[in-house]
Structure 1
Amino acid sequence: MRRITRTLVTAAMVTAVVAGTAGWASGTAQEPVTGPPAGTAEWRAAGLPDPERMDPAAVARFFAGLRPEERQRLVKAHPTVVGNLDGAPLDLRYQANSLTSPARYQGARILAHDTRGRGQTVLAYGDLATAERVAVLVPGSDVDAGRMDSLTRKATALRAATGGRTAVIAWAGYTTPVGVGLDAASGELAEAGAERLARFTEGLRAAGVRPEPSVFCHSYGSVVCGLAAQRLKAKDLVVFGSPGMRAENVAALRTTARVWAAKDPTDWIDRVPNVAVAGYGHGTDPTAPEFGARTVPVRDARGHDGYFAPGTSSLRAFAAIAEGDVR
C-alpha cells in the first residue's frame, strides 16, 4: 500500500510538471535532427566513404590521407558535409561553413552549421588548435541557429573571465525544446543530443584538440550532458539551473570528469519537482547533497539565465574551473 501511495503521489507530481502548474508552461513539439550531415547522398554518390560508417577517428584518418588540393576540392564540392563532419580538420570545417552560413558572429568561427530542422550552429571563440584550455557550453530550451544570443553572451563572458586564455565553444548542436512543455519534461531530445555531443567531443580530439574540455550544461542541456556523461571526453562537467541529469547520483553518471552543480535560489527551476516516472521528469537535483556533485557558489546570480552575468561569483567560479585553478 505504501508503494502504491508513493507511486500515485509521484505520478501526480509529474502530471503537475507537464501540465504547467509546477514550472513547465507550454511548448511546441520538436523532432530531433539525427543522422549524417545534409548533402551526404551526394557525397556518397561521388564515391566518398560513408559518414555513417566512420567514427571521428576514421574521419580524421581519411582526411589525413588526402593531398591539400584534394581537401580543398571537397570543401568546395561538399561544404555541408565537410563543415559538419566530426573529426574533420578544424580549418576545413571553418572554410566550409563560411561558404554555407549566411550569419556572421563577432569574434567567432563557425565550427558547424546544419540547416536541417530549426538549424544548429557551433561557434568557436579562440584558437582550438593551440589552446591550453577548452570549454564547451551546452544550452537548454529555445536555442537554435537563429536564436544564439543567450548562448553567445555566455561564451564571450566565460572567455573574457579567463582573460582570453580559454577557447570557448558555443555548442548549439542539437534540437532543443521550444518552451518548457512536454519536450522539456521528457528525455527524447536529450537522448539525440547526447549522441551528438559525445561524438562532437570525440571529434575534437580526433581533429587534434588536445585539452579535455570543461563542459558547462545549462537547464535542459544538463539532461543532455547527463545522458552523454559516460562517453564525454571531458575533464569537468558543470551543470547549472538543472532540472536533473537522469541519474540518481554522480556515480550513476559513470564519468571520470569532476562533476559540479549550481542552482541560484531565485531560479524558477527550483520549483520543478525532481521526479522521474513514465519517461517524464529528470530525477535527482544535482545540487542536492546526496547527489554528490561539487558545489559552485551562486549567491549573487539572479534567475534562470543569470549564472554568467559579469561580476558574479558563479562566473568567477566557472572561469576558475575552466582554467583548472580549483581542485
Structure 2
Amino acid sequence: MQPNHKRLGAVRLSAVRRKAKQLSATKLSVLRRRRVKRVLIGVFAASAVLADAGAAAAQAVSANEQVAITSPPAGSAEWVADHSLGRSLPDPATASATVVATFFASLTPEQTTRLIAEYPLVVGNLDGAPLQTRYQANRLAIAAERDKARARANDTKLDADTRALALSRANDSEGLLAKGRQILAFDPRGRGLVSEVYGDLASAQRVAVLVPGSDADLAHFDQTADPLRSPAGMARALLAEEHRQDPNAHTAVIAWTGYVTPSGLGPDAVTSRLAEAAAPRLARLLSGLAVTSSPAAPPALFCHSYGSVVCGVAAPRIHDGLRTDLVVFGSPGMGVQNAAELGDGVRVWATRNPTDWIGNVPYLEVGGLGHGADPTGPDFDAVQVSSAGAAGHTGYLSPHTASLRNFGSIALGDYGDVTHP
C-alpha cells in the first residue's frame, strides 16, 4: 500500500503547529516572569524613590547588578603552592580560623615577616591570623594599591575619566594609611572592600561589628562631608557613645565592609543574592574574632539597611550556642517572617524612625524579590528600640538621639538602660 502523502503532510503540519504553540507558550511564560520581576523591582525602587526623590531616583535608573566577591584575594594560589617552610600553608578558601591561628603561633618572627612581605593581601584577609600581623600586612597591601593607582593616574596614554578614577582610588587608599588606623581587611578587587577596627580589639571586653548597607565600598568607606553616611563614621560614633556612657569600658567597634554591597536602588537591593554571598564572609570574620580576641560576650552586630539582610542570612550560623545581640535599623527586612526563624541564640533589637524612607518599601517576599516582614512590626517579635530624635535613613547614630544612646547601651551590655518606643 502506498502512503497517503497528503495525509502525512497534514499530520506533520499539525505536529509542527503543536510544537510551535508549545514553544510560544514557554517563551510567553518566560517573558511574563521577566516582566513580573521587572514590575516588582520597579515597585520596590519607585516606593523608595518617591520617598527620597532626586539622588535616589538617579541611582535607581543607573544602578547595575554587582559581581559578588566570594573567592580568596589575589596571591592565594601562590600562597597555597608555597612549601618553602617545609609544610603546607593554610588554604585561605577552606582553613578554619583555629587552624590559621595555630599555624601563625608556630612561626618564628622572621617567618611571619617574610610571609607578610610576600603575601600581604592573603595575610591581611586571613581570619584567625594575629591582629597586629593583619594590620601590618594590610598597610603594605594598601600602599601597593595606592602606588598602582597613582601610576595609572599619571599615565597619559589613558583617557581622562580613567585617570580621574585612578586618582580617586589613590586618594582613598592614602587615607587608610594615616597614622593609627587599624585596617583589619583590605581587598582592592571591584569597588574595594575594607574593614577597620576602632579601639583596642585585643583587650576589648565588648565588641561591636557594624554591617553597612548599599553603596558601602572603598570610595565611600570614610566620608568627611557627611560621616554618618559611611561605615567608618557610624563606627566612630558608636565607639564614642560607649565611652561617653562608660569612660572606663574596654570596647572596640569594627566597621565591616567585607562584602560587595548593592549599588543604588537597583535589582541587587531587592534580592538576597549579595547577602547570600556575604553571610559566609561575616561568619568567618566572627570565627576569626573568637580566636584572636576575648570579649566577655559574643560581638554584637549592628546591621544597617541592606546590612540587616546580610545579618538575617548569616544569623543561624553565627551564634554558636551563645546569645548574640543583633541590632537592625533602617531595615528593609531580614529574609524571614519573625525573629524565631533566625535561631534560638539570636536576640533581635529593631528600630526605624518615622522619616526613614525605607518604611515606604513593601515588606514582603515574592518570587525572590523583597526581604520579608518588617522587623519593627508587632508580629516579628523583636525588641523595639526607641529612635526618638533620629531623622532620615542615616540619622540613627546622630548626636543626642535615643537610637545612639540605646545602641551604646546594647553594645556595652547595659540592657536595662535601653528605652523603647
| Residue 104 (structure 1) aligns with | 175
| Residue 271 (structure 1) aligns with | 360
Aligned mates of 2:315, 2:345 — CA distance in 1: 9
| Structure 2: gaps (5+ residues) | 1-35, 50-56, 84-88, 143-172, 224-229, 417-421
Contact 1:245 1:283 in 2 (8 A): yes
| Structure 1: gaps (5+ residues) | 1-10
Aligned mates of 1:324, 1:177 — CA distance in 2: 31
Aligned mates of 2:264, 2:404 — CA distance in 1: 25
Aligned mates of 1:322, 1:289 — CA distance in 2: 24
| Residue 392 (structure 2) aligns with | 303
Aligned mates of 1:14, 1:291 — CA distance in 2: 27
User: How far is the alpha carbon of 1:14 from its aligned partner?
Assistant: 6.9
User: How far is the alpha carbon of 1:72 from its aligned partner?
Assistant: 1.4
Gap change, CA 1:14 and 1:136, over 3 Å in 2 = farther
The amino acid that maps onto 2:70 is T
Deviations 1:63-96 (A, max 9, x none): 1221222111111111110000111111100000
| Residue 227 (structure 1) aligns with | 313
Pairing 1:113–2:189 present: no
| Residue 30 (structure 2) aligns with | none
Q: How does 1:136-285 map to 2 (within 5 A)?
A: 136-148=209-221, 149=223, 150-163=230-243, 165=249, 166-211=251-296, 212-233=298-319, 235-285=324-374
Contact 2:44 2:362 in 1 (8 A): no
Give the number of equivalent residue pairs.
318
| Residue 320 (structure 1) aligns with | 409
Pairing 1:126–2:151 present: no
User: How far is the alpha carbon of 1:303 from its aligned partner?
Assistant: 0.4
Contact 2:301 2:326 in 1 (8 A): yes
| Residue 82 (structure 2) aligns with | 46
Per the alignment, in what secondary structure is the counterpart of residue 273 of structure 1?
A: coil
Pairing 1:23–2:48 present: yes
Question: TM-score when scaled to structure 2?
Answer: 0.72
Structure number with higher relative contact order (C-alpha < 8 Å, ≥ 6 residues apart): 1
The amino acid that maps onto 1:90 is L
Question: TM-score when scaled to structure 1?
Answer: 0.92
The amino acid that maps onto 2:398 is A
| Residue 81 (structure 1) aligns with | 122
Gap change, CA 1:159 and 1:171, over 3 Å in 2 = same
User: How far is the alpha carbon of 1:281 from its aligned partner?
Assistant: 0.2
Pairing 1:35–2:71 present: yes
Contact 1:158 1:308 in 2 (8 A): yes
The amino acid that maps onto 1:259 is V
Greater C-alpha radius of gyration: 2
Dislocated runs of 4+, deviation >6 Å:
11-14
Gap change, CA 1:44 and 1:311, over 3 Å in 2 = same
Which stretch of structure 1 is more off in the superposition, 263-272 or 147-156?
A: 147-156
Aligned mates of 1:282, 1:19 — CA distance in 2: 11
Identity %: 52
Which stretch of structure 1 is more off in the superposition, 289-298 or 94-103?
A: 94-103
